[in-house]
Amino acid sequence: MEQIKTDILVIGAGSGGLSVAAGASQMGAGVVLLEGHKMGGDCLNFGCVPSKALIASGKAAYGQSHAAAYGVADVMPQIDYAAAKDHVHDVITQIAPVDSQERFEGFGVRVIREYGQFLSPSQVQAGDHVITARRVVIATGSSPLVPPIPGLDGVPYDTNETIFDLRDKPDHLLIIGGGPIGMEMAQAHIRLGCKVTVIEGMKALGKDDPEAAAVVLDTLRNEGVEIAEDALAAQIRGQAGAIEVAAQDGRIFKGSHLLMAVGRKANTDTLALEKAGIETTRTGIQVDAALRTSNKKVYAIGDVAGGLQFTHVAGYQAGIIIRSALFGLPSKAKTAHIPWATYTDPELSQVGLTEAQAKERHGETVEVVRFDYHHNDRAIAERKTAGFIKVMVVKGRPVGVTIVGYQAGELINLWSLALANNLKMSQVAAMVSPYPTIGEVNKRAAGAYFTPRLFENQTVKRVVRFVQRWIP
C-alpha cells in the first residue's frame, strides 16, 4: 500500500475537479487527482457535450426540411442515426484531450485512476494508495436518478449515460421527465425522424418562467412532440421494442424505447463520508457558503454539493476553492449571477430571479420590462421571431432576466455580467450594439426601461420646450 502526502486531494475529474486540480497545481500546490471512471466526467462524456452535438444533428436535419421560407426548396433529409452518433463521439474525441490524464500530469498533477473512499477525516484510499491531504475537494458529480417505478427493472431503458451509444434509431421514444434534458432530447429525436412522447408527472419545464416555457413547449408540440403533463408514471411493462408506460390517471403511452430523464442524484454512495465526519442532505453533501463540509478540511463542489447542477457552476465554485484552500482568503459562493440555459430551439435562459420570484421578494418595487423578438430586425431576417426578453428591475438595477428565443443562451451572458457587478440599467443602455444583431435585444430591453421615463414624462417635455425657446 503506497502512502502519499499532498496539499490538495481532488476526488473526481469532472468540470469542477479538473478546474481545481489545474489551478492548484499551476500555482505551486501538490495535487493528487482521483478518477475511477472517465476523465472529463458527466459533462464531456454523457451530458453537455454529446447532447449539444446531437441537437446540432437534429438542427441540420430540420433546416433541410424547413428551407422554403428562405427561397430554398425543402427536401426530405436522409437521416443516418448511427452516423449522427458518430458525429457525437467525434465531438467528444476532439474535446477529450483538454481533460486528459496526460494533460493534467503535464501540469504536475498525480492522477490515480481509482475511486476514492475515506478512511478517516484526513485520509482517503484509492486502490493500493492511501492519500493524506491537507485539504480534500469532493467533486464526484451526479448520476441519473432512476425512481423505483413498478416494472421498470424488467424493461430495457436508457439514461443520459447510455442514450448516446444507441445506434439504432428509435421508432417511438418515450421520455419520462419533462425537464431540460427530457425536452432537449425530445426535440433532437423528433428532428432525427423518431416519434417522441414526453411523460411528465407535473408541468414540463416547470422550474422555468411559465410564459417563457410555453413558447418552447408550443414549438415542440408544433414539431410533433407529444407532451403529456400531470402524467405521473405508475407502472412500466413490456419488452424491447414494445414498451408501455401507465400513468396514475389511467393514460397509457406506448413506444419502442424508453429514456429516463427525471433528475439527478449526488454521487456519494462509495465515499464512506461517515468515516470523515461529513454530513449529507437529501440532495447531496451539506456545505456552507464557503463550500466547506462539516469536516472543515474537506470541500464539496458541483453537483455533489446539492445546489445548482450545471457545469459552469462547478467551474465557478472551483475558483472559490482555489482562493480559500491555497491562499487562506475568505471566499463565499454566490448564486444570484449564475445563468442557465435549455438548448431547445428556441432556447430558454435565465439569470437571477424570475418574474414571480422577483414580485414575491420585492413586491411593488419591481418593474418588469420586456422586448419581443419580432421587433428585432436580425430576427426578422433570420425568421427567428418567436420569443422575448423580460428584465426584472428594482431601483434601476436588474435582479433577474428571462430570455426565450434564438440564441437566448448567448444573450444571457451580458445579464450575468450585469448582476455579478451590480450594474445599473443605464449602464446596459449605454452599450452600443452593431446593427443588425440579435444582441440588440438586450439593449432594446434596457431602452424599454427608460422609454416611459423619457417620452411619457411631462417634466422632461416642459424642460425640452423651455430650452428650445432659448437656444440660438
Residue 66 in any domain: the answer is: no
Residue 252 and residue 232 share a domain: yes
Q: Give the whole-angstrom CA distance, residue 141 versus residue 52.
A: 19
Last residue of a domain, which of 304, 327, 350? 327
At residue 70, the 3 state secondary structure works out as: helix
**Average pLDDT value for residue range 167-193:** 98
At 352, which CATH number? Answer: 3.30.390.30
Confidence of residue 352 (pLDDT cuts 50, 70, 90): very high
Eight-state DSSP code of residue 376 = -
- 306 in the same domain as 248: no
Any domain includes 460: no
Q: Of 225, 246, 262, which closes a domain?
A: 262
Q: Is residue 245 part of a domain?
A: yes
Place of cell 437656444: 471
Q: According to the model, what pLDDT value does residue 461 have?
A: 66
Q: Are residues 252 and 317 in the same domain?
A: no
- For residue 436, whether the previous peptide bond is cis, meaning omega lies within 30 degrees of 0, is yes
Question: Cα–chain-centroid distance for residue 433?
Answer: 27
Whether residues 234 and 274 fall in one domain = no
Q: Has residue 245 got a pLDDT over 70?
A: yes
Helical residues (DSSP H) of 4-40, grouped into ranges: 15-26
Say what the pLDDT of residue 287 is: 96
Q: What span, in angstroms and rounded, lies between the C-alpha atoms of 197 and 108?
A: 49
Region 344-357: mean pLDDT is 98
Q: Would 349 be classed as within a structural domain?
A: yes
Span 26-44, average pLDDT: 95
Banded pLDDT at 158 (limits 50, 70, 90): very high
| Residue 336: alpha-carbon gap to chain centroid | 15
pLDDT-wise least confident of 163-172, 310-319, 413-422: 310-319
Beta partners for 238? 243
* C-alpha 193, offset from chain centre: 25
**pLDDT at res. 469:** 73
* Contact between residue 319 and residue 22 where contact means Cβ atoms under 8 Å apart: no
Neighbour-count burial of 318, counting CB atoms closer than 10 A to its CB (0-12 exposed, 13-18 middle, 19+ buried): buried
Residue 331 pLDDT > 90, yes or no? no
C-alpha distances (whole Å) from 134 to each of 30, 325, 331 are 10, 9, 18
Query: Which cell is 419 given?
Result: 448582476
- The length of the chain is 472
464 pLDDT exceeds 70? no
Domain boundary among 298, 327, 356: 327
Q: pLDDT band at 453, cuts 50/70/90?
A: confident
Does 454 score more than 80 pLDDT? no
Verify that 289 and 354 share a domain, yes or no.
Answer: no
State yes or no: pLDDT of 455 exceeds 70. no
Span 259-286, average pLDDT: 96
Band the pLDDT of 402: cuts 50, 70, 90: very high
439-452 tens-digit pLDDT: 999 999 999 999 77
Q: What percent of the chain has pLDDT over 70?
A: 97
Please, which pLDDT band fits residue 457 given cuts at 50, 70 and 90? Answer: low
DSSP 382-416: HT----EEEEEEETTEEEEEEEEETTHHHHHHHHH
Please report, for the domain that includes residue 298, its CATH number. 3.50.50.60
In a domain, 348, yes or no: yes
Q: Tell me: do 229 and 315 sit in the same domain.
A: no
CA dist 152 and 362 (Å) reads 45
- For residue 326, the 8-state DSSP code is I
Q: Is 44 a domain residue?
A: no
28 and 139 inside one domain = yes
What gap in Å lies between CA 288 and CA 297, rounded to an integer? 13
Whole-Å CA distances, 409 to 56, 61, 339, 389: 15, 21, 9, 12
Same domain flag for 131 and 274: yes
pLDDT above 80 (res 465): no
Q: Is the domain of 289 the same as that of 312?
A: yes
Cβ-count burial of 347 within 10 angstroms (0-12 exposed, 13-18 middle, 19+ buried)? buried
Contacts of 451 (CB under 8 A, 6+ apart): none
For residues 255 and 271, membership in a common domain is answered with: no
- 59 within a domain of the structure (yes/no): no
**Residue 163 in contact with residue 36, Cβ under 8 Å?**
no
158 & 193 share domain: yes
pLDDT of residue 325: 82
Strand partners, 400: 352, 392
Domain count, the chain: 3
Residue 75 lies in a domain: no
For the purposes of burial, counting CB atoms within 10 Å of the CB of 298, is it exposed (0-12), middle (13-18) or buried (19 or more)?
buried
**Residue 166 and residue 217 share a domain:** yes
Print the domain residue range for 420. Answer: 339-455
Rounded mean pLDDT of the chain? 95
The predicted model gives 245-266 an average pLDDT of 97
Confidence of residue 307 (pLDDT cuts 50, 70, 90): confident
pLDDT in tens, 37-89: 999 999 999 999 999 999 999 999 999 999 999 999 999 999 999 999 999 99
pLDDT at residue 327, rounded to an integer: 85
Question: Beta strand pairing status for 252-255 and 242-247?
Answer: antiparallel
